[in-house]
């Protein structure tokens, strides 16, 4: 069985220069080993807006490996931005959560200890509207998600990220979330009393509980051990995350619930972005626009690869799931949660559903 050791991997894909007169991006070996909050705070205080002609080092935190599609996109972004800027930008990529969790990276971007990361629905602690980036049962396909992100609703959500201090560079589509287990799960009755790992997303936890599961919040990096030790019996994720985390070693079935189609946004600190001169901001914008096309093309070309990899690893794909029954069990909680959040989220959710249904017709 594959050992699930929390190994901190420090990868610097370029010999970076320091950001202005500060230590905005320390070498990877130092950053990976630095968990001291006082040290991070000191780094934040020294961060300055770059002067004209200076090199800017972007520290880019990822929760996935460089082999994952997001890691490949980050590598492509690094190559293009450094070439376009003639070396004025240097991108240091820290994969596999080597700089901490997604939550750590988001917090670090606000105080200046990191510069870039990716986030989606889990951003709802900063902006409730982020919930709609992975709204359950709202989308029928990746195309529906793409239409939403590029609509007025999507623009509004991205503006909320900006207000919170995070500038959106480009989005990346994700495959539908699927339920894994060691027995087939077809109806809410099959969920009853079964222990399930959740990421901590309140809406998703509540809706699975309402359908009969007993959910616990467990970090992604701890989920393999929780499944192997019987702490939980089920988890849900897109195929790429199921495979990338080796869940095929401890789960027999992928039950195709496809309950969430979603997207994740590539973010840079708004303070850093707004502090760039026009030329550097232009390079960053141009590269991000190129990456939008690159990631869309890559996703559609490879979107079924990880489903096949899970099958090749021995997992059984269960296509007999009664999705309507599970959806019906969840919808009252989904409506109640979104209404309680305010900010017109329930109304926006309904509009997204209407957009998705119109695409089917």
Residue 44 has pLDDT above 70, yes or no: no
Q: Are residues 37 and 91 in the same domain?
A: yes
13 domain residue, yes or no: no
Q: What is the pLDDT of residues 70-111, one digit of tens each?
A: 999 999 999 999 999 999 999 999 998 898 889 899 999 999
Residue 41 has pLDDT above 50, yes or no: no
Q: Please compute Rg for the chain using Cα positions.
A: 21
Please check whether residues 64 and 121 belong to one and the same domain: yes
> Which residues, at least 6 apart from 236, have a Cβ–Cβ distance to it below 8 Å?
177, 178, 179, 180, 196, 198, 204, 208, 257, 259
If one counts the domains in the chain, the total is: 2
If asked whether residues 226 and 121 sit together in one domain, one would say no
Does any domain span residue 139?
A: yes
Select from 287, 347, 334, 300 the least CA-distant residue to 146.
Answer: 300
Domain containing residue 150: 28-174+262-304
Question: Same domain for 283 and 161?
Answer: yes
How confident is the model over 230-287, as pLDDT tens digits? 999 999 999 999 998 999 999 999 999 999 999 999 999 999 999 999 999 999 999 9
Give pLDDT tens digits for 276-330.
Answer: 999 999 999 999 999 999 999 999 999 899 999 999 999 999 999 999 999 999 9
d(CA 340, CA 337): 5
25-34: average pLDDT: 33
The answer to whether residue 4 is domain-embedded is no
CA distance 127 to 133: 11
Contact call for residues 237 and 298 (beta carbons, < 8 A)? no
User: Do 119 and 227 belong to one domain?
Assistant: no
Q: What are phi and psi of 101, to 5 degrees?
A: -75, 175
Average pLDDT, the chain: 87
Instruction: Determine the angle formed by the axes of helices 152-164 and 142-149, rounding to 10 degrees.
Output: 70
Give the dihedral of Cα atoms 133, 134, 136, 138; nearest 10 deg: 40
Q: Give a yes or no: residue 313 inside a domain.
A: yes
* pLDDT above 90 (res 359): no
Degrees to nearest 5, angle at CA 346 with 202 and 144 = 90
In this structure, the strands spanning 166-181 and 89-94 are unpaired
Question: Is 20 within the bounds of a domain?
Answer: no
The CATH number that applies at residue 81 is 3.40.190.170
Pair 53, 99 in one domain: yes
On whether both 214 and 100 belong to a single domain, the answer is no
228 and 326 part of one domain: yes
Please check whether residues 138 and 220 belong to one and the same domain: no
Tell me the backbone φ, ψ of residue 259, rounded to 5 degrees.
Answer: -80, -20
Residues of the chain with pLDDT > 90: what percent? 75
Question: Do residue 128 and residue 203 come from a single domain?
Answer: no
């Amino acid at each position: 069985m594959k050992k699930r050791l929390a190994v901190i991997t420090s990868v610097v894909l370029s010999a970076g220069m320091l950001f202005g007169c500060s230590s905005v991006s320390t070498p990877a070996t130092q950053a990976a080993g630095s968990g001291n909050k006082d040290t991070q705070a000191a780094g934040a205080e020294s961060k300055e807006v770059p002067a004209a002609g200076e090199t800017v080092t972007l520290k880019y935190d990822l929760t996935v490996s460089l082999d994952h599609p997001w890691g490949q996109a980050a590598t492509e972004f690094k190559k293009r931005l450094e070439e376009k800027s003639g070396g004025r930008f240097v991108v240091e990529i820290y994969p596999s959560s080597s700089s901490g969790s997604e939550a750590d990276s988001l917090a670090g971007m606000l105080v200046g200890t990191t510069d870039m990361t990716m986030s989606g629905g889990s951003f709802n602690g900063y902006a409730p509207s982020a919930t709609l980036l992975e709204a359950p049962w709202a989308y029928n396909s990746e195309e529906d998600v793409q239409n939403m992100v590029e609509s007025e609703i999507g623009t509004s959500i991205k503006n909320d990220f900006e207000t919170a201090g995070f500038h959106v560079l480009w989005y990346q589509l994700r495959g539908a979330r699927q339920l894994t287990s060691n027995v087939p799960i077809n109806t809410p009755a099959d969920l009853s009393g079964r222990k399930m790992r959740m990421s901590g997303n309140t809406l998703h936890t509540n809706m699975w509980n309402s359908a009969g599961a007993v959910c616990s919040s467990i970090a992604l990096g701890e989920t393999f051990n929780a499944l192997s030790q019987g702490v939980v019996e089920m988890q849900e994720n897109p195929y790429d995350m199921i495979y990338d985390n080796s869940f095929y070693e401890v789960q027999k079935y992928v039950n195709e619930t496809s309950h969430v189609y979603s997207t994740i946004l590539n973010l840079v600190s708004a303070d850093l972005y707004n502090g760039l001169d026009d030329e550097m901001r232009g390079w960053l914008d141009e590269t991000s626009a190129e990456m939008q096309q690159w990631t869309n093309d890559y996703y559609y070309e490879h979107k079924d690869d990880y489903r096949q990899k899970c099958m090749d690893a021995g997992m059984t794909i269960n296509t007999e799931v009664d999705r309507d029954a599970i959806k019906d069990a969840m919808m009252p909680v989904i409506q109640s949660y979104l209404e309680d959040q305010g900010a017109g989220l329930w109304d926006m959710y309904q509009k997204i559903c209407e957009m998705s249904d119109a695409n089917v017709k």
